[in-house]
């Protein structure tokens, strides 16, 4: 069967344009693939369309909007997930309009679909005492416990994204002064993050025990599972969740849901509360725009506001005079600044 214009463009977009010309990361490409997998599933099961016969002319704004509604109503996707799927679709049609200008009007109508507005989520983070308790949970008398202890310390010390931790190699680590770790974030942008002395000491012991030497194993994963393969994002989340459960069992108050990204938020909040400038926090977290980092400052202000509101009512005198009834004061204010007659 001859490929349709839609299948041809979609294949080129996902296999060539995103990873090649846009230099998108593997995770981003997989996310876009997942969005179109769901879209094709919707077209097949809900609209009765044959996937192999779908043409660009068959896809319009109405179909895309109904797909987004299906994500919300049938699959119970959150607003952020719906917007992520819409962003993938809009990106494809932005690419397609230059390749097939005969569909320009239809594509521009799709591109004009606005993202949905949702309630702003409350940024979850752990206080210093809770963080310290979680970091102390691994049993360092076992090899697995020692690996987990180093993993958690590196996660917190660097404030890295979970994928950045999963992608760490032995060659990413510099233990000599000044100690640092090279991370690759969104868009494969690299940055160097300084390491604290305690983390350097743990890493040095861990790498020596595992026989990990930069000169001989530079491209080997820094953190491996029992099969000797690098830890996945799900594996890292599982390890963190296990120790969070142990910390809760010791009567430590922790948020209900803690993810690796919660550790990232916690590091940023602790740095801010320690008086570190937002510019340095931005560089450490790998944010491309300072406005992204400012959410921590806003969250800190809200915490301070909540703390003040929790203080008992401040006693104030109740017999203050009402200035509104003070006619002399009102007259004085009315004449304030007006030219005075000259005295001869």
pLDDT at 316 exceeding the cut of 50: no
Query: Catalytic one among 186, 191, 204, 233?
Result: 186
Cis peptide before 178 (omega within 30 of 0): yes
Residue with more model confidence, 327 or 179: 179
Catalytic residue among 133, 146, 282, 287: 287
Task: Report the C-alpha gap between 265 and 199 in whole angstroms.
Answer: 19
Q: 46 vs 184, which has greater pLDDT?
A: 46
Inform me whether the pLDDT recorded for 269 exceeds 80.
yes
From residue 68, alpha-carbon distances to 20, 27, 37, 124, 301 in Å are 28, 22, 13, 28, 35
State percent of the chain over pLDDT 90. Answer: 48
CATH hierarchy code of domain 5-111 = 1.10.150
Better pLDDT: 22 or 321 = 22
Residue 218 DSSP one-character state: T
Q: How far apart are CA 264 and CA 187, in angstroms?
A: 18
pLDDT band of 146, cuts 50, 70, 90: very high
Closest to 109 in 3D by CA, of 67, 68, 62: 62
Superfamily grouping for domain 128-291: Intergrase catalytic core (1.10.443.10)
pLDDT in tens, 18-50: 998 888 878 889 999 999 999 999 999 999 999
Q: Give the pLDDT score at 314.
A: 45
Chain region(s) in the chain for CATH 1.10.443.10: 128-291
From 85, 103, 146, 161, the catalytic residue? 161
Residue 150, pLDDT > 90, answer yes
Tell me the three state secondary structure of residue 191. strand
Residue 287 is among the residues annotated as catalytic for this protein: yes
pLDDT score at 302? 58
Q: Is the pLDDT of residue 309 over 80?
A: no
Non-local CB neighbours of 3 within 8 Å, separated by 6+ positions:
none
Please confirm, yes or no, whether 161 is among the known catalytic residues.
yes
- DSSP symbols for 53-119: G--GGG--HHHHHHHHHHHHHTS---HHHHHHHHHHHHHHHHHHHHH-GGGHHHHHHHHTPPPPP-P
Rounded mean pLDDT, 245-257: 82
Determine which one of 85, 147, 264, 282 is catalytic.
Answer: 264
Between 314 and 63, whose confidence is greater?
A: 63
pLDDT at residue 275 is higher than 70: yes
Q: What is the pLDDT of residues 68-118, one digit of tens each?
A: 999 999 999 989 899 999 999 999 999 999 899 999 999 999 999 999 886
Q: Is 174 a catalytic residue?
A: no
DSSP 197: H
CA–CA gap between residue 334 and residue 338 (Å, rounded): 8
Span(s) in the chain for CATH 1.10.150: 5-111
The confidence score (pLDDT) of residue 320 equals 47
- Does position 276 have pLDDT exceeding 80, yes or no? yes
- Single out the catalytic residue among 174, 191, 230, 261: 261
Active-site residue flag, 109: no
């Amino acid at each position: 069967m001859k490929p349709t214009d839609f299948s041809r463009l979609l294949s080129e977009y996902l296999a060539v344009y995103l990873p090649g010309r846009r230099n998108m990361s593997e995770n981003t490409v997989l996310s876009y693939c997942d969005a179109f997998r769901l879209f094709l599933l919707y077209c097949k099961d809900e609209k009765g369309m044959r996937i192999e016969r779908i043409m660009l002319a068959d896809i319009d704004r109405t179909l895309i909007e109904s797909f987004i509604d299906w994500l919300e109503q049938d699959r119970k996707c959150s607003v952020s997930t719906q917007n992520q799927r819409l962003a993938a679709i809009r990106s494809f049609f932005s690419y397609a309009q230059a390749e097939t200008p005969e569909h320009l009007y239809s594509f521009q109508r799709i591109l004009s679909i606005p993202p949905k507005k949702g309630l702003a989520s409350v940024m979850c983070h752990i206080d210093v005492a809770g963080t310290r308790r979680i970091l102390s949970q691994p049993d360092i008398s076992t090899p697995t416990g020692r690996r987990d202890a180093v993993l958690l310390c590196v996660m917190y010390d660097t404030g890295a994204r979970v994928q950045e931790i999963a992608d760490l190699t032995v060659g990413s680590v510099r233990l000599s002064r000044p100690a640092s770790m090279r991370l690759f974030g969104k868009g494969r942008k690299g940055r160097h993050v300084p390491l604290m002395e305690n983390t350097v000491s743990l890493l040095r012991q861990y790498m020596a025990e595992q026989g990990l030497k930069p000169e001989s194993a530079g491209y080997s994963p820094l953190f491996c599972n029992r099969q000797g393969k690098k830890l996945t994002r799900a594996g890292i989340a599982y390890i963190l969740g296990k120790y969070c459960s142990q910390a809760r069992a010791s009567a430590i108050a922790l948020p209900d849901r803690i993810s690796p990204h919660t550790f990232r938020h916690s590091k940023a909040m602790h740095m801010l509360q320690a008086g570190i400038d937002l510019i340095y926090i931005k560089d450490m977290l790998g944010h491309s725009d300072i406005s992204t980092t400012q959410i921590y400052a806003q969250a800190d202000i809200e915490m301070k506001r909540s703390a003040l509101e929790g203080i008992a009512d401040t006693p104030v005198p109740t017999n203050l005079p009402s200035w509104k009834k003070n006619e002399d004061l009102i007259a004085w204010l009315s004449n304030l600044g007006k030219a005075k007659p000259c005295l001869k």
